Amino acid sequence: MVGAGQLARMTHQAAVDLGMSLRLLAESPTDGAALVTPDVELGAPDDLAALTRFAKGCDVVTFDHEHVPTEHLRALEDSDVAVRPGADALLFAQDKLAQRRRLQELGIPVPVFAPVTSVADVARFGEEHGWPVVVKAVRGGYDGRGVWFYDEPPDSLPGPNVYVEAKVPLLHELAVQVARRPSGGTRAWPAVETVQQDGICVEVVAPAPRISPALSTDAERIALRVASELDVVGVLAVELFEAPGGLLVNELAMRPHNSGHWSIEGSVTSQFEQHLRAVLDWPLGDTSPLAPVTVMVNLLGGRDTDLTRTLPPALEAVPEAHVHLYGKEPRPARKLGHVTVLGDDVVEARERARTAVRVLRGDDE
C-alpha cells in the first residue's frame, strides 16, 4: 500500500486477520501506519525510484491516497506491477474535471460545471447558472481544501488549475461504498448519511436514516455503475448530494474512505478487509449491517487535545464506544481518530459517540 496514514493503519489490522503481509511506502517512520507495521519502505509517492523499490515483491500495489502521479502509475504498470485500481481508473479520482466530464458522458448526474481559465469564465458561469458558485481545484483538494465559494465574480482565480460548478442546494449528503474485483464481482454497503463541517466529514450515520429505500437503491446503483464504467478495482466511495431534483455525484475515492469507517464494527465485512480482497481478486465479503444503526464520529484535534490523558475518561464515559486512534500528534482540527457506536436509535447512538469524542478532545475540561 502506497501511503501510511490511518487508512493504511486500519488496512494492516485487516491484513493481519487474513494472514497477509502488508508492505507500506511511508513518507516518514512516524506515519500512523508505519508505527504499527514492520514492513515499511521510506519514500515519497511521487518518487518513481522509491515506488519501484517498494513494489518489488508485492503481489498487488494499492493506495491509501491519490498522490501518485499518473505517469508513475503507468510506468509501474508497464513494468508488470499489478496496480489496483489501475492508472486509467485512478485518473478519475485524481482529476475532478476529467471525472465530471466522464460521468456526464455516461449520463450519471453531476452538478452543472465548466472549465475556467479566467475570472470572466467564472462570472459568465454565475450569470448563466446563478450565484453562489463553487470554484474547485482540479487536483489535490480534500477536507475542505481546494474549494472556494463565491457570491459574486471574484477578483482573481484562487489557483491555476480550477473549474467552476453550481452550488447545489442540498437536503442531505450521502455516500455509498462498493467493492469490485478485477474479474467483475461487486458488493455494495448500504448508503450512509455524512455530516460535514467546514468541508470536513464529522459524522456518518449508517444506514442513511432520512432517505427512502428507493433513493438508497438509486445511490447504490449509481456507485455500482461508476465502478464498472470506470473499471475501478477495490473499494470505491461515491459521495453524493441529495438535491431537490435527485442525486448528484460529488466526489469519488478509489480506496477505503472516511465514510466507510463505520463498517469496521457495523458491517459483517469492513471496507479495509474488502479492499484487500477486491484488489487480490478474492471473493468479496458480506456487507450487511450488524445493528439497526451505526454512528461514526470523527475525532478532530481540539485546542489542547492530549489523548494519553483523555482516553481513560472517554472509555469510562462510554463503555460501548469503539475508539480508533491514528497515532498522530494532536493538532487543532487534525483527524486524530474516530469513535463508532452501534445501537437501535440514531439520536441515542449519535449522542453516545459524540460524548466519547467530546471527552477525547478535552472539550469538557
- Measured N-to-C along each axis, helices 96-105 and 87-94 cross at an angle, to the nearest 10 degrees, of 110
- All three cell numbers of 282, joined, read 478474492
Nearer to its own copies, 255 or 277 (CB): 277
Alpha-carbon distances, residue 95 vs 46, 70, 100, 302 (angstroms): 16, 10, 9, 32
Among 145, 152, 288, 306, binds its own copies (CB under 8 A): 288
Q: Give me the least distance between CB of 267 and its own copies, in Å please.
A: 10
Neighbours of 27 (CB within 10 A): 17
Nearer to its own copies, 16 or 106 (CB): 16
Cis peptide bond N-terminal to 207, omega within 30: yes
**Residue span binding its own copies (CB under 8 A) among the ranges 9-17, 105-113, 151-159, 214-222:** 9-17
Neighbours of 80 (CB within 10 A): 8
Sequence-distant (≥ 6) Cβ neighbours of residue 72 within 8 angstroms: 46, 48, 51
Instruction: Answer yes or no whether residue 337 interacts with its own copies by CB under 8 A.
Output: yes
Sequence-distant (≥ 6) Cβ neighbours of residue 251 within 8 angstroms: 96, 237, 238, 239
Q: Give me the least distance between CB of 77 and its own copies, in Å please.
A: 24
**Residue span binding its own copies (CB under 8 A) among the ranges 15-23, 48-56, 86-94, 112-120:** 15-23
Instruction: Answer yes or no whether residue 348 interacts with its own copies by CB under 8 A.
Output: no
Among 17, 128, 198, 363, binds its own copies (CB under 8 A): 17
Residue 123 to residue 145: CA distance in whole angstroms: 22
Nearer to its own copies, 59 or 151 (CB): 59
Instruction: Answer yes or no whether residue 120 interacts with its own copies by CB under 8 A.
Output: no
Alpha-carbon distances, residue 159 vs 70, 164, 292, 352 (angstroms): 21, 12, 44, 41
Q: Give me the least distance between CB of 329 and its own copies, in Å please.
A: 11
Instruction: Answer yes or no whether residue 163 interacts with its own copies by CB under 8 A.
Output: no
Q: Give me the least distance between CB of 223 and its own copies, in Å please.
A: 19
Say whether 139 sits in a helix, a strand or coil.
coil
**Residue span binding its own copies (CB under 8 A) among the ranges 37-45, 166-174, 202-210, 217-225:** 37-45
Instruction: Answer yes or no whether residue 346 interacts with its own copies by CB under 8 A.
Output: no
Give the binding site for its own copies (CB under 8 A).
9, 12-13, 15-19, 21, 35-38, 40, 268-269, 277, 282-286, 288, 290-291, 307, 311-313, 315-316, 319-320, 322-327, 337, 342
